[in-house]
């Protein structure tokens, strides 16, 4: 494979750090860009001594001038706690960030990947969700800064493709988990694991019957890279990237309690506003176009994630 110079925005975050690591393993040069609002330097410390790795402290809402072959645009807070902290800035990151990265890609004729999200489907009326589904999104709710920001970013990507012939890839990422998740970001897998390891009550919203599908991070990164390197380079997406195996939130909580040998009990709180009741990808397109499907079972992925969190919780005591 040809050695490439690759820019990863949001490169010190959960997904970004795994992507940077994988690209370096493949022999590429990596520019990791992050403003460190939700990113964590600890996620990339082990990469700093690599001569082909470079860190740039920068906010994607401002223009950037670098020379690269490919861009992966991952920059944006992805958990409700973080993206609702400053919703205006969240929308700016999605929209202005997309404009700036698309402008850069256009100037230097680089291929660009947009990390979109399953949130573009909102609270879906179709299950599982195929890429052809337009979604059921509240445009003025507390989650809208993220949902509509990502939807607008998709619009910009496809307009740049149609108007300027820009080479784009738009991947809709579903729930992903694994090592390097932030402990305080409010995501369901990390929340449950931390509560279980501390033997605290596990908080389940609603009655726990709402469903999610959980993709282990290594599988997700493999899908992103396969999509970016798809041959022939003719398919733009959007493409769902996630695990089609569905679990209820209550099943997830019970599984984690069992795997951690925890004395935690489950407590139920009211369901947050606009929280979708079902979320599961139809990945037939990914299976056909890039021969991709997740390989890691939930139990195996949870085991690795629990192993990651255990020593970090002990260090906090």
Give the pairing of strands 211-213 and 246-248.
antiparallel
Q: How far apart are CA 175 and CA 242, in angstroms?
A: 7
Tell me the mean pLDDT per 10 residues along the chain, length 317: 93 98 98 95 97 98 98 91 88 97 98 97 94 95 94 98 98 97 89 96 92 96 97 92 96 97 95 83 97 98 98 85
Q: What pLDDT shows up at residue 288? A: 96
Q: What pLDDT shows up at residue 1? A: 65
Q: What pLDDT shows up at residue 285? A: 97
Q: Ramachandran region of residue 128, left (φ > 0), alpha (ψ -120 to 50) or beta?
A: beta
Q: What pLDDT shows up at residue 66? A: 98
Q: Which two tokens stand for residue 177?
A: 């988990």
Q: What pLDDT shows up at residue 272? A: 81
CA atoms within 13 A on the CB side of 297: 4
Q: What pLDDT shows up at residue 273? A: 77
Return the H-helix or E-strand segment holding 255.
Answer: helix 249-259
- Enter the pTM of the model: 0.95
Return the H-helix or E-strand segment holding 149.
Answer: helix 144-164
Q: What pLDDT shows up at residue 267? A: 95
Q: How far apart are CA 17 and CA 274, in angstroms?
A: 30
121 is an active site residue: no
Q: How far apart are CA 128 and CA 93, in angstroms?
A: 29
Q: What pLDDT shows up at residue 214? A: 96
The structural domains of the chain, ordered by start, are 5-178+216-243+281-295 (3.40.50.720)
317 contacts: CB under 8 Å, gap ≥ 6: none
Q: How far apart are CA 76 and CA 93, in angstroms?
A: 6
Q: Considering the candidates 72, 146, 160, 177, report the single residue annotated as catalytic.
A: 146
Q: Which two tokens stand for residue 315?
A: 């260090």
Q: What pLDDT shows up at residue 276? A: 81
């Amino acid at each position: 494979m040809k050695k490439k110079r690759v820019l990863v925005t949001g490169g010190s975050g959960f997904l970004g750090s795994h992507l940077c690591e994988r690209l370096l393993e493949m022999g590429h040069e990596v520019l990791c860009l992050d403003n460190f609002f939700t990113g964590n330097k600890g996620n990339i410390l082990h990469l700093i001594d690599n001569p082909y790795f470079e860190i740039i402290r920068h906010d994607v809402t401002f223009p950037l001038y670098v020379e690269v072959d490919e861009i992966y645009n991952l920059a944006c807070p992805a958990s409700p706690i973080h993206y609702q902290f400053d919703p205006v800035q969240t929308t700016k990151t999605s929209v202005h960030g997309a404009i700036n990265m698309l402008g850069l890609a256009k100037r230097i004729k680089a291929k660009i990947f947009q990390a979109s999200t399953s949130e573009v489907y909102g609270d879906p009326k179709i299950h599982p969700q195929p890429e052809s589904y337009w979604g059921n999104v509240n445009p003025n709710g507390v989650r809208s800064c993220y949902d509509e920001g990502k939807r607008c970013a998709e619009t910009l990507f496809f307009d740049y493709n149609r108007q300027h012939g820009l080479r784009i890839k738009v991947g809709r990422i579903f729930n992903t988990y694994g090592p390097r998740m932030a402990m305080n970001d409010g995501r369901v897998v990390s929340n449950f694991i931390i509560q279980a390891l501390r033997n605290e009550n596990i908080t389940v919203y609603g009655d726990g019957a709402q469903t999610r599908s959980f993709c282990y991070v290594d599988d997700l990164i493999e899908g992103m890279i396969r999509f970016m390197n798809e041959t022939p380079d003719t398919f733009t997406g959007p493409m769902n990237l996630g695990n089609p195996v569905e679990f209820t939130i209550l099943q997830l909580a019970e599984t984690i309690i069992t795997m951690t040998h925890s004395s935690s009990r489950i407590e139920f709180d009211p369901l947050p506003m606009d929280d979708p009741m079902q979320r599961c990808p139809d990945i037939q397109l990914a299976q056909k176009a890039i021969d991709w499907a997740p390989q890691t079972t939930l139990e195996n992925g949870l085991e690795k994630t629990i192993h990651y969190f255990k020593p970090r919780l002990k260090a906090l005591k």
